[in-house]
Structure 1
């Protein structure tokens, strides 16, 4: 993509991007860094390629101890957090519908996709409210409205919960100076999405191409003709957390190439 001069519009801001070592999270972290932000990224595993502009914290946010570690380290090192991007998420459950899913499958999806952002918000909101300044973005999914019951049932359910929670949180904290937004992407072309196709193919005993077509059919197709690139999601995030979006709060932004077929 052509490099754009963002004029350091976020200079002096401190941002945390969860799941920021690869895919969409990495693209978001790099976009915020280009805008002058001091960016912290967190994931279970270190990034494959080190970026000196990004401060990495190793943590498993699906567990309360991981969240506590991140909150403590960020506030001790930087003294504040201005921007929280709850990007961590994903589905690692089996395809095949409700009958093949165990309590452990449900628990894993709920911890990662819903409770991790809830705990991080709870950890960082007090200092945002005290300063009457901050932006929280929850990365949900169009599956909150368009669930794929045969492949990602727990994930879709968790993201639907995140969508509702995000709206409720906005109603509570927007009057206190903190903006809360939700971004719901459609299919994004990442390594994780390719891995999901491989899992569906294996569990259903079909080819990866057939798995991809089955998911596309479940989505009703993508009118734009392709999945999103991570950088396209990052560009939307970059705008939403900037001063240019100061009046936006409590809103869901769908970025799906036209996938959702209704208004």
Structure 2
């Protein structure tokens, strides 16, 4: 399919990974937004590779999103959803991001094509009481997963908890996992974080089925389902 000219402010989609072979049918799209370029990329690249492996046979396509230089990241995320619909038609879209990209996908989730959101270590503003709180209405009707390291010194995990608590009131399909002892890059337990995100994406976009921990987190009332510990070794049995 022909490439669409990028918007004036410079956002664009990266190369597709997954169900892109001749005759393949795209059944779902994941759009991945990175964090700030001056920091390490966190789990974005391993997640993109894992999603392509796990979901390609089901028709899942993954694109990285290169945000515009002079526009808010959420504008780039919203444009990316519109572009994915233009390329692939009426298929479910998952917005996933890390750091500043995670905050952007939460804010851009209101597009009607978005069925799920994955926010890894989101860098939020307004959840400390110093300014207007982050919006949550746009998350209604979406499956939402937030993952945060308890030792994150760059983005306060309590801010993502407060956002999740407000989102849960409007949208029961919201869960949040805490990665104990991990920092902003989620490096110590990267394999578990990636496995959790893949499980959530495939369940949200395709099957409607999740692993037991995700099912429990979605069903549990606050604060239990919003402080769910990510178990060491999560997803290991599936990888054997």
Normalising by structure 2, report the TM-score: 0.50
Structure-2 separation of matches of 1:70 and 1:26: 18
Secondary structure of the residue aligned to 2:104 is helix
Deviations 1:142-177 (A, max 9, x none): 14xxx75xxx3xx21xx4222222233233233xxx
1:76 corresponds to = 86
Q: 1:143-222 maps to which residues of 2 (within 5 A)? A: 143=151, 148=153, 152=154, 155-156=155-156, 159-174=157-172, 179-186=173-180
Structure-2 separation of matches of 1:22 and 1:114: 12
Secondary structure of the residue aligned to 2:43 is helix
State which of 207, 218, 225 in structure 2 corresponds to 1:249: 218
Q: Does 1:29 align with 2:48?
A: yes
1:139 corresponds to = 147
Cα deviation for residue 24 of structure 1 reads 0.9
Q: Is the 8 A contact 2:29 2:92 kept in 1?
A: yes
Q: Which has the higher helix share?
A: 1
1:128 corresponds to = 115
Structure-1 separation of matches of 2:161 and 2:192: 21
Cα deviation for residue 39 of structure 1 reads 3.7
Normalising by structure 1, report the TM-score: 0.46
Structure-1 separation of matches of 2:162 and 2:82: 27
Number of matched residues? Answer: 159
Q: Which has the higher strand share?
A: 2
Structure-2 separation of matches of 1:62 and 1:73: 17
Structure-1 separation of matches of 2:27 and 2:78: 24
Secondary structure of the residue aligned to 1:123 is coil
1:96 corresponds to = none
Q: RMSD between aligned alpha carbons?
A: 3.9
Q: Does 1:119 align with 2:85?
A: no
Structure-1 separation of matches of 2:179 and 2:164: 15
Q: Is the 8 A contact 1:82 1:133 kept in 2?
A: no
Q: Is the 8 A contact 1:138 1:181 kept in 2?
A: yes
2:188 corresponds to = 228
Structure-1 separation of matches of 2:61 and 2:192: 19
